[in-house]
Structure 1
Amino acid sequence: MAGKATVHASAVLVGAKAVLIRGPSGAGKSRLAFDLILAAETGALPFARLVADDRAMLEAHQTLLLVRPPPNLAGLLEVRGLGIRRLPYEPVAAVGLVVEVGGKGERMPEAGPVTLEGISLPQLTIPRHSDPLAFLLAALRTSGI
């Protein structure tokens, strides 16, 4: 698949744009992805659906960064303690925000840009000892990201 980079990340379509979740192994990427999906089911978000878990394929298309699941992982999400689960998924989505989990993070961080595959995107670092879902929901609701 020329032109597509595969990265260690999860992605969830939230509304019209995907949140690309990056971080070291064990940082909680899959957990945050699942929490976003559950937040939509409880009404905390209008819509959320899995795009990719563990590995994500990135491709620049004009001014957009597209994310897709590798074919062999499409629709699969690891739930710690329960194993691999099959979920409805989006085959492709445009990334609107890059989230780094497990980072040091600042007390009052600003969403700074990151460039992936030549596309500049807002990036948010979730501090290691915070509640990732609450932190991300607060950012999504208050910053216009």
Structure 2
Amino acid sequence: MPGYKGHLAGGLAFFVMGFVGALLLGWAMRDPLVWAGIAGFCLMGALFPDVDTDSKGQNLFYLVFAAVDLGLILHKDYMWAAWLGFFAMLPAIGSHRGWTHTWWAMLLVPVPIMAVPAAVLGLPEAKAFLPFYAAFVVGYFSHLLLDGEFR
């Protein structure tokens, strides 16, 4: 079982494979800021399963969450900040290598990435968040694969 550096490396490798695949299929967006965000979601997904234990990965994950939440608050996007805060608390429910290390959590945990924008902005606008959902799932998958959960 790799530590947080190994999981970040795995998430980055899976992001690069996805990026190259998107380029080859002609799906790649030209905005580097969007790709940076997608990479960030992939890396966050790669760290997420271990946020239920005291670790450097947990500290890094919550540092990013806190920074984004603070940015939302300073931008006066209180509703988005509240949603982020709510979902940030969920890993505390359960034990280490419990529900966060399951295939179904890999698919369900990032659902708010699509569901919250769909509820707030409407379904057509929420489709723009699909690459971020997919990136989080891919990062999460890399974590579970490196932990040997698919044997």
Same fold (TM over 0.5): no
Return the TM-score normalized by structure 1.
0.26
Structure index of larger Rg: 2
Return the TM-score normalized by structure 2.
0.26
Structure in which a larger fraction of residues adopt helix = 2
